[in-house]
Amino acid sequence: MRKIWIAFISVIVLSFVVLIWVGTEVYQTQPPIPELVIIKETNAVAYTKEDIQIGQNVWESIGGMEVGSIWGHGSYVAPDWTADWIHKEAVYMLEHWAQADFDTAYDDLDVEKKAAIKARLIKDVKTNTFNPDTKTITISQVRWDAISENIKHYSSIFSDGYEQYAIPKGALTDTVKLGQLNAFLFWTSWAASTNRPEKDYTYTSNWPHEPLIDNLITDDSIIWSGLSIVLLLLFIGILTYYYLRNHEKGEILEKPNVDPLSNLQLVGSQRAVLKYFIVISLLIALQVILGAITVHYTVEGQAFFGYDLSSFLPYSITRTWHTQLAIFWIAATWLATGLFLAPMISGKEMKYQVFGINFLFFALLIIVLGSMLGEWLGVHQFLDLTTNFFFGHQGYEYMDLGRFWQYFLAIGLVLWVIMVGRHLLFAIRQKDESKDLIIILLISVVAIGMFFFSGLMYGENSSLPVINYWRWWLVHLWVEGFFEVFATVVIAFIFSRMKVISPKTAGRVSVASAAIFLAGGIIGTLHHLYYSGTPVQAIALGATFSALEVVPLTLMGFEIRENWNLLKSKDWIQKYKWPIFFFIAVAFWNFIGAGVFGFLINPPIALYYIQGLNTTAVHAHTALFGVYGMLGMGFIIICLRFYSDRVWQNTKLKRAFWLLNIGLTAMVLFSLLPIGIIQAYTSITKGYSFARDADLLYSPVVQTLKWLRMIGDVIFSVGIFYFCWFTIDETIYNFKRKKVEN
């Protein structure tokens, strides 16, 4: 066991050393924000640093990543503003020179003349004119003319509305803010089209794919993609060999003939947790309703089956709430599970535990409702930019809530760590055979509380590469990293208490699994940052270690088999059939959603072409709901199973389970994946901007595929209805029971 702990600690320390080192490189080599942007021929000032920075705040206030995307990060209906800007700018300049030099359209020129003009364009936009001494950027007059046309185009979109982009009329009408927004969009396009100093690729490693300016995939992206695939195959073989050699070496237990937890006496704090399950069920239902509205905007743009909803609930708000509620209810489920199991682990209930649970409950309600109201006010421009940063809409996917609400949530997480952690410390001091299992559980609990603070590491005027770096610390390390460790250990603890696995074996397996997962997962955070204004180290390390993230997921078939065999081992285990079924679903979607669909977009050569397309949505839905959502639901059910004293009528759960899985599968296969494949082909063959263009997304074939999503969505929604119905009904029943005294 000592060797396993050494391996675990080594993985943690070395991985964070590497991740922090890359972070310092991000700070030092990020695209510069100039003090001035100057027009070469006239020395006129086009933009100032203040224009660009305030423009970023304006972009955040209208929804940021929930209204199109920047550098491929964000939503899918509106264009990627960076790619769209570059393409429109390039087309204008090519047409200008074709008319000026040859009095004809660019497309009508012969090959030699096209090549000459294209070479002029590439020299103009790719030459880095940033002067580090004066901190100024110089642009040509013709480029400023192209920028001016873009300003008119984008100002019209945001002020007059654009139905195909799901942007309502009056989204932004202040002319000063519109000018500043365009300054920010220009800067993102400049960074993505201008070469780094002394390099032959841009600050975003030639993303997006734009043939007009020779933004083509770099050698580094190709080389590291190939190496990542080789490493994937190598480590799958090594891990499979290790697993087959060692997985039967645990202590052999004779499974009991009766349920060891049948006489479980629950304490007052566990009863207090029950109300969380009602609120979580309501949040799940609301999230699904908002998801239906959001996806329908991709068809009608401004309406919901003909009703003009966008003036009150625009796409940017419904998508914000849809994605944010997913994080809220999943995290709340896992936190409630920790509070529920804490007294079971320690064997006693600590003082003021009920008070703490009730305090956290009301804090959760305030944070959810307060942040949603703030986001609505921010997007509708009722808040000034600084107030919006603190109380409104920060503009970053999965981190949309204002900074004040983040602080509030951080305080709540610290309290949660204390409430759960003190029970775990008490259990550790008992020095029984569960010690290793409880220690790794305590580590995951502390990490969940600590790593949320990574989302507070940037400020109102931080640059986009810095914000993205810390954002993925939160989204990847917090949600996909240490929450997953927590979940693994919780399941192991539950099975050890059911005496189907020894606590000693459960501890060893949990620590080893955490080490294997985090070996790829921590540094693998960088796979989100290949093309975000980050240095090439992000591509090299992100590609290598994100491939390793997939390795442990290849063994999910063994986990499914073992859980299935567990159900058949003793009659009493049938009592836990549906929680175990949800855990089986987690293993399945871990392999498909996180593994197959995750690796589909992980290698640099893939992400270069398909970042921000519907292929990303495939991974997001199958991994976020399929893994973390199903796991949260499994936790709710098993907590209720521990508490309930009645025989369950499993019809609702059976329908919920199968409808959720069938609906999610149909959603992906009938709609998201086919659209993603069409977009990927377009991006590879024509350029990234075409893959996000309304002409493609509103083409007859794609529109038909969007409507086909209703099949999966309806099936899925009915499954959600049955799950929430069961959960609320069972929770209310247990509330009505006589209170169990400590």
For residue 565, the tally of other CB atoms under 10 A from its CB is 9
Query: Residue 171 above 80 pLDDT?
Result: yes
d(CA 379, CA 61): 6
Please report, for residues 62, 82, 317, 570, 693, the alpha-carbon distance to residue 182 in angstroms, rounded to integers and kept in the order given: 13, 11, 22, 66, 19
pLDDT at 257: 82
Instruction: Write out pLDDT tens, residues 234-286.
Output: 888 888 887 777 765 555 567 778 888 877 777 889 889 999 999 999 999 99
Instruction: Write out pLDDT tens, residues 593-614.
Output: 988 998 899 899 999 999 999 9
Query: Residue 742 above 50 pLDDT?
Result: no
Query: Where does 429-555 have alpha helices with state H?
Result: 435-451, 464-472, 483-497, 503-521, 536-550
- 333: tokens are 């489920």
- Cβ–Cβ under 8 Å, residues 491 and 334: no
pLDDT at 250: 54
48 burial type by CB count under 10 A (0-12 exposed, 13-18 middle, 19+ buried): middle
d(CA 247, CA 558): 10
| Least confident residue range of 20-24, 33-37, 502-506, 680-684 | 502-506
pLDDT at 209: 97
pLDDT at 252: 55
Instruction: Write out pLDDT tens, residues 620-672.
Output: 999 999 999 999 999 999 999 988 888 888 899 999 999 999 999 999 999 99
Task: Write b or e for each residue in 207-221: b if 16 or more Cβ atoms lie within 10 A of its Cβ, otherwise e.
Answer: bbbbebbebebbebb
Residue, of 229 and 570, whose pLDDT is higher = 229
240-249: Cβ within 8 A, 24+ apart: 240/554, 240/555, 243/555, 243/558, 247/558
d(CA 663, CA 675): 17
What are 137's strand-pairing partners?
37
Query: Residue 302 above 90 pLDDT?
Result: no
For residue 126, the tally of other CB atoms under 10 A from its CB is 17
Mean pLDDT, all residues of the chain: 92
Task: Write b or e for each residue in 596-627: b if 16 or more Cβ atoms lie within 10 A of its Cβ, otherwise e.
Answer: ebbbbbbbbbbbbbbbbbbbbbbbbbbbbbbb
Over range 195-213, report the average pLDDT: 96
Task: Write b or e for each residue in 369-387: b if 16 or more Cβ atoms lie within 10 A of its Cβ, otherwise e.
Answer: ebbbebbbbbbbbebebeb
N-term to C-term CA, the chain: 36
- Cβ–Cβ under 8 Å, residues 80 and 72: yes
Contacts with 238 (C-beta within 8 Å, 6 or more apart), sequence order:
none
Query: Where does 673-738 have alpha helices with state H?
Result: 673-685, 688-691, 694-697, 700-736
Over range 530-554, report the average pLDDT: 88
Residue, of 516 and 225, whose pLDDT is higher = 225
d(CA 634, CA 280): 13
Over range 468-497, report the average pLDDT: 87
Look up the pTM and report it. 0.94
